[in-house]
Amino acid sequence: MDLSYSPEEQAFREEVRAFLRDELPKDLSDKVRSGAELGKADIEQWHAILNNRGWLAANWPKEFGGAEWNAVQRHIFEEEAAQANAPRIVPFGLSMLAPVLMKFGNQAQKDYYLPRILNGDDWWCQGYSEPGAGSDLASLKTRAVREGDHYIVNGQKTWTTLGQHANKIFCLVRTNPDVKQQEGISFLLIDMDTPGIEVRPIILLDGTPEVNEVFFDNVRVPAENLVGEENKGWTYAKYLLTHERTNIAGVGFSRAGLDALKRIAKVEMSGGRPLIEDPHFAARVAKVEIDLMAMSTTNLRIISQAAAGQAPGVESSMLKVKGTIIRQEINDLTRRAVGPYALPFPSEVLAGNNDPIGPDYAGPTAAEYFNNRKLSIFGGSNEIQRGIIAKVKMGG
C-alpha cells in the first residue's frame, strides 16, 4: 500500500501544470470559470492546442497519433485540467468513436477518419437515444434498409449533444427488425449534410441549446460507412460505452467545484460572519469533502486495476452513481452559498455581453445546479447503474 504518486507520476503532473500555465489561453479559462457558454471556435482552439502538443488523444495508441497515457496519467491530466479551468475535451470523436474504429473499423476507415478527428476536420456527434429508446436503448427504431450500395435511413435520434456543431454523426440503426432487439442493430457513420437530415435544437431548462433532435428522412448512406459487420452494432456500442465511462467519477470537476465553493463561502457573509464559519453550512461542505476524498481514492483504486490490465466492470457503475451525487451536492451548496444572487437569470452576462449582476461567481450557480441534473440521467441513468450493480453482485 502506497498512497503517494511515483516520482515519474509527480514529474508528469508538473509537466501538465506547466503546459496548462503556458498554453491554456486566459480568455478560455475565464469563460470556463465564469460559467460562460463555450462556442464551437473556443473548443476547436483548445483541441488544436492539445493536438499540437500530442495530448489531444490521451487514450489513443501512439501509432494513431495518440499520447497513449495510462489510466493514472489520464487521471492526473483530468485533475489538473479541471483545476486550471480548461475547457472539457469534447469526447464524441476522440474517446467514443475512435476506439470503436480502431477495434472494429476497416483499414480505409481508420486511415480516413482517425487523422480527421485529431486535426479537427470532423466534429462527431452521437446518434444513440431516441424518443422511445432512452434507458432501454436496445429498443431503438431508426431503420436502415440496404438498397444496392446504400443504406436508406429513416427515423429520429434525440439528446444529440452539440449536434449543432457536428458535420458527422455515428448512429445505431436497426437493420433487422425480425430478431432479438440486440441482434438487429448496426453501427453507421453518416455525413450530417446528406439530404434528408434535419437538426432541431432542444433548449434545456437552463436556457442553453446543448442538445438536439436529429431527423432522418430517406437519408442515403454509402454502405462503406458501415462499421464492422451488419447487425453487430450492439457489441460495438457496448464497447463504446466502456470508453464513455473513463473519467466517469468526475473527480477533477468535483475538486475544482469544491475549491470554488470554499472560496465563495469565505467571502459571502451571513449573519455578520463569513458563511464558511456558519457551523451548519460548514458541516455540509465538510461532509461532501469527506465523501470526495474517499471517492477520489476509490477512483484511483479502480484506475490502478485498469492500469494493471483489468477491465473496470461494475466499479465504473459505482463511480458513476457516487460521483454524480457528489457533484450535484456541490452544485446545490454553491447555489445556496450565493443566497439571493442565485435568483437572477443573467443570460446577457453568460453570453459575455454584460457585467455581472452581484458577485461574478454568482451568475452561473443556479444554471449549473439545474444543468447538472443531467449527470445522473445521461450515459446510463443512475437507476440503470444500480440495476447493473445488483445484477452483477447478486447474480440476478
Partner 1 sequence: MDFNLTEERQMLQDTLRRYLSDKYTTAARNKILDSDEGMSADIWAGLAELGVIGALFSEAEGGFGGAGFDITTVFEELGRAGVVEPMLETAVLGGRLLSALGDDSQTALIEEVIGGSLHLAFAHGEPTSRYDLNRVATTAKTDGGDIVLTGRKAVVANAEAAGYLIVSARESGAVDDEAGISLFLVPAGTSGVTLRGYPLFAGGRAAEVTLDEVRLPASARLGAAGEAFAAIADAVAAANVALSAEALGAMVTATELTRGYLMTRQQFGRPIGTFQALQHRFSDLLIELEQARSAVINAAGHLADPLAERDRQIAAARNLIGRAGRLVAEEAIQMHGGIAMTQEYELAHIAKRIVMTDHRFGDTDYHLERFIALSAAA
Q: How far apart are CA 254 and CA 290, in angstroms?
A: 12
Residue placing its CB nearer to partner 1 in the complex, 100 or 211: 211
Q: How far apart are CA 93 and CA 207, in angstroms?
A: 26
For partner 1, the binding residues in 328-367 under the rule CB under 8 A are 328, 332, 335-336, 339-348, 357-358, 366-367
Q: How far apart are CA 318 and CA 131, in angstroms?
A: 27
Residue placing its CB nearer to partner 1 in the complex, 48 or 343: 343
Is 34 an interacting residue with respect to partner 1 (CB under 8 A)?
no
Q: Which of 253, 217, 314 is nearest to 78 (CA)?
A: 253
**How would DSSP label each residue in 281-307?**
HHHHHHHHHHHHHHHHHHHHHHHHHHH
- Determine which residue in the list 18, 269, 294, 392 makes contact with partner 1, applying CB under 8 A: 269
Non-local (6+) Cβ contacts of 239 within 8 A are 99, 100, 103, 104
Residue placing its CB nearer to partner 1 in the complex, 316 or 372: 372
For partner 1, the binding residues in 51-90 under the rule CB under 8 A are none
Is 310 an interacting residue with respect to partner 1 (CB under 8 A)?
no
| Shortest CB 314 distance to partner 1, Å | 17
Is 242 an interacting residue with respect to partner 1 (CB under 8 A)?
no
Is 202 an interacting residue with respect to partner 1 (CB under 8 A)?
yes
Backbone angles phi, psi at 166, to 5 degrees: -85, 145
Is 110 an interacting residue with respect to partner 1 (CB under 8 A)?
no
| Shortest CB 273 distance to partner 1, Å | 11
Is 102 an interacting residue with respect to partner 1 (CB under 8 A)?
no
- Determine which residue in the list 64, 284, 289, 307 makes contact with partner 1, applying CB under 8 A: 284
Q: Which of 127, 105, 174 is nearest to 146 (CA)?
A: 174
Q: Which of 128, 126, 151 is nearest to 140 (CA)?
A: 128
Is 179 an interacting residue with respect to partner 1 (CB under 8 A)?
no
Residue placing its CB nearer to partner 1 in the complex, 136 or 259: 136
What angle, 0 to 180 degrees and rounded to 10, lies between the N-to-C axes of helices 314-337 and 251-267?
20
Is 141 an interacting residue with respect to partner 1 (CB under 8 A)?
no
Residue placing its CB nearer to partner 1 in the complex, 10 or 135: 135
Is 241 an interacting residue with respect to partner 1 (CB under 8 A)?
no
Give yes or no for a contact between 102 and 111, defined as CB atoms under 8 angstroms apart.
Answer: no
Please give the distance of CA 243 from its chain centroid, rounded to a whole number: 11
Burial label, 248 (beta-carbon count in 10 A; 0-12, 13-18, 19+): buried
| Shortest CB 395 distance to partner 1, Å | 18
- Determine which residue in the list 152, 204, 314, 389 makes contact with partner 1, applying CB under 8 A: 204
Give the residues lining the site for partner 1 (CB under 8 A). 129, 132, 134-136, 139, 158-159, 202-205, 207, 268-272, 278, 280-281, 284, 328, 332, 335-336, 339-348, 357-358, 366-367, 369-370, 373-374, 376-378, 381-383, 386-387
